Structure 1
Amino acid sequence: MSYIPALSRDAVSPAVAASLDAVQKKLGALPNLFRTFAHTPVALNAYLQLAEVAASGRFSAKQRELIALAVGERNGCDYCLAAHSAIGRMVGLDAGDIAAARAAGAKSAGDAATLALAQRIVDTRGHVPTEELDAFKAAGFDDAAILEVLVNVVLNIYTNYTNHLARTEIDFPAAPAARAA
């Protein structure tokens, strides 16, 4: 049971309802996470604005979903793993891509380096050792890419932690259990 309940669209202010309508139009549904954010326009708009900014960066929708899966796995967020598995399929990821991303693996070396950095940002709370940052750059990235990975990590930590605090009811097909290492 949710600790912070997902609100119905009718229970929110007109401004929040308009934002929820836009989410529903884009996704074809109104996930419980957004209805939870709807308790305050601050929470909802913080997510929407940061997601929009992240989408304007160098990482494609597929790459952003891979990052979301890697971060969701590291933070143990069942809601986000379910959501990003479903959304990932919508943007062209297959079951193998999804499973690999959760373990910071990917078909391309660049994506694998990005996911490894994303998980290390989570693991080290941003104190990633210099040699690991250098290895990311040696994989073909620059300082701007490091910061864009960080933006995507922060966006996903925000949703992961919201779901942990709210105990958001999962309204996507459950993600499979992670493979044993």
Structure 2
Amino acid sequence: MPRLHTAEPEIATGQAAALFTATHRALGVVPNLARVMANSPSVLKGYLGAVTVLSTEGTLSADVGERIALLVAQENGSDYCLSVHAFRGTRTAGLSAAEATRARRGEADDPWAAAVLDLAAAMVRDRGAVADEQLAAARRAGLSDGQIVEVVAHVALNVFTNYLATAARIDVDWPLLRHTD
């Protein structure tokens, strides 16, 4: 049972209704996580803005973003976010089930994607205190400073959603995947 109220899009009015419409446009559904975020319309608006800008103007591909999300959810033990990103990663971003599973462990066959995941894992595990050698390794793999900043943004956004989903005990509205699997 959720610990925070979930707003219902069907009866929302004003700014909440507009944000639910934007959520549906951005994600294709209005997931329970967005319904909890709607308790603070500014939070939902900020989240949608970040997701939209990173996906439309960022340089990291959708599959790389989903790999980061899977890694972060696994590291944080967020079954809600792990479930959503396994679903989105394999259904909309083109990851195979094996690639999604490997991403949870911070692994990828593509050396560039593996470097992104190495950096993301270091950020999560060290709470942003990434060593100089880790940044140098990311640059040697071909990541620009802009892409490194985008990796940080993806990690931070996913940490936020992991923490909110866990704190609120949001009901999983995707095929359930547990971090212990």
Q: Please tell me whether residue 28 in structure 1 is matched to residue 28 in structure 2.
A: yes
Q: Report the count of equivalent residues.
A: 179
Q: Which runs of 5+ in 1 are unaligned?
A: none
Partner of 1:113: 115
- Cα distance between partner residues in 1 of 2:117 and 2:87: 19
Q: Please tell me whether residue 174 in structure 1 is matched to residue 137 in structure 2.
A: no
Rate the CA distance shift 1:178–1:115 in 2: closer, same or farther, 3 A.
Answer: farther
Work out whether residues 12 and 39 of structure 1, in 8 Å CA contact, stay in contact via their aligned partners in 2.
no
| Alignment of structure 1 residues 1-181 onto 2, 5 Å | 1-55=1-55, 56-90=57-91, 91-175=93-177, 177-178=179-180
SS at match of 1:92: coil
Work out whether residues 97 and 106 of structure 1, in 8 Å CA contact, stay in contact via their aligned partners in 2.
yes
- Cα distance between partner residues in 1 of 2:59 and 2:27: 22
TM-score under structure 1 length normalisation: 0.92
SS at match of 1:162: helix
- Cα distance between partner residues in 2 of 1:172 and 1:153: 21
Deviations 1:144-163 (A, max 9, x none): 22111001111111111111
- Cα distance between partner residues in 2 of 1:11 and 1:34: 15
Amino acid in structure 2 at the alignment position of 1:84: H
TM-score under structure 2 length normalisation: 0.92
- Cα distance between partner residues in 1 of 2:84 and 2:120: 18
- Cα distance between partner residues in 2 of 1:142 and 1:25: 30
Work out whether residues 99 and 178 of structure 1, in 8 Å CA contact, stay in contact via their aligned partners in 2.
no
- Cα distance between partner residues in 1 of 2:46 and 2:28: 21
- Cα distance between partner residues in 1 of 2:109 and 2:94: 13
Q: Which runs of 5+ in 2 are unaligned?
A: none
Work out whether residues 73 and 102 of structure 1, in 8 Å CA contact, stay in contact via their aligned partners in 2.
yes
Offset at 1:25? 3.9
Runs of 4+ displaced beyond 3 Å:
10-13, 25-28, 176-179
Offset at 1:5? 2.6
Work out whether residues 77 and 179 of structure 2, in 8 Å CA contact, stay in contact via their aligned partners in 1.
no
